[in-house]
Structure 1
């Protein structure tokens, strides 16, 4: 039996762009509708006010996620992305603003308490500052970690590595030391043709042998009547010896059968019957 729900599986966003753009007013920079989603770009210093309007007036009650993005070529390289959900209308929208390393974004912990953890993650991974967040600390990396791993200019190998030292009985930080040079990948498909020789293809360019070796005669392969005769002699000479040895070993392994030593019970003689004594005749 199919279960029916009152809320639709997908909410159409037709007309939603104009409605929300009119509600945000001068807080909005641009509104983009693509791929069935609505993206609202708001001013950085107005992001708290814009999200408050969407929460209170348009029923976007839940802050589902705060993410970051890095575009190093831009003047304001970072984007802070807020993902909102309306439980009432089953609608999701995306709100974003731009920032830089030295331009803090107003915190939205005044609107959603879970924003504290999400802002800490964006700060840890990208280095974006959030003005008003009273607990802006690293959340995924360690306290002594340097740099922000999700930035495009962050090296793939990092600057330091940490390990537990048995001698010092604590975690220690050391500069990264690679056992081999960092390999550079060109992402070129070998089927399309690489500009260098791939490992294992060194022999592909060698010319074929002029006169390939053949084994036309049995003598070239080590076979023949003489070889067969010698093999037969060795088998005939060793086969009986192996059988005898095998039978001896098998006999030695078998335990000797124990003889039955049960004693027969001793025959008991029946007591001899006494003959009745002859009656003496009274002599007269």
Structure 2
């Protein structure tokens, strides 16, 4: 669904917003099915937690970075209504998708409780502006139902923390717990928040529970002091080529793909990019046929 303007305004006023029903049912269902190519199903995990010891190594052991083996997951990262929300929030169409993760948590694997913190510390090498210019848009898409029992993210409204200098990135355990709001909702819900908002992970409150979310972040293009992942470093991972082939030119642009009309494109690059990405439609960039044209350069 298209994020209402009032919710994007709430991100600036309150620091975060929660919108249920963001993903359509088919996209959500396909993405949920694809999770089990990466993670153990909850029933399998809880049948024998000791068979999956890696989830007990740290709170972040369940993180997996883009790309993913299945297009069903990769397409969530370039969901048209997500791009639309990022363009409106950042007030420009010149935007980069600078971080994509999947995050799985299983009750009892480890203590997931955290103190409140601000995310900007590993999203920028400086600090966010207090006047809210030059923001970054960070979000969590819930791929499973999240209730109070499921270790929800806890966020603190900006009005409760305005006295804390932005240069302070962490609080003491327990600070602002009385002011925090639980981010709960059915699968398909989206949380959008700013990197200067205090928030934290919380622990599960019942056994046999699990939580699966997809964090995705955007920034205006050209602000080199912001970012997190370098996409060229991910191109050898399973799923990257399929993702690029299946994306539209607008979606590829989010990852820094050279746009149509860029001086990068000539006969040689069109031919060789076609070799690297079999099946890709390069006609928007000046190619006359689909990607297999480059298979016989002679």
Shorter chain as denominator, the TM-score bin is under 0.3
What TM-score do the two structures reach when normalised by structure 1? 0.24
Task: Identify the structure with the greater helix proportion.
Answer: 2
What TM-score do the two structures reach when normalised by structure 2? 0.23
Q: Which has the higher contact order (CA 8 A, sep 6+)?
A: 2
Larger radius of gyration: 1
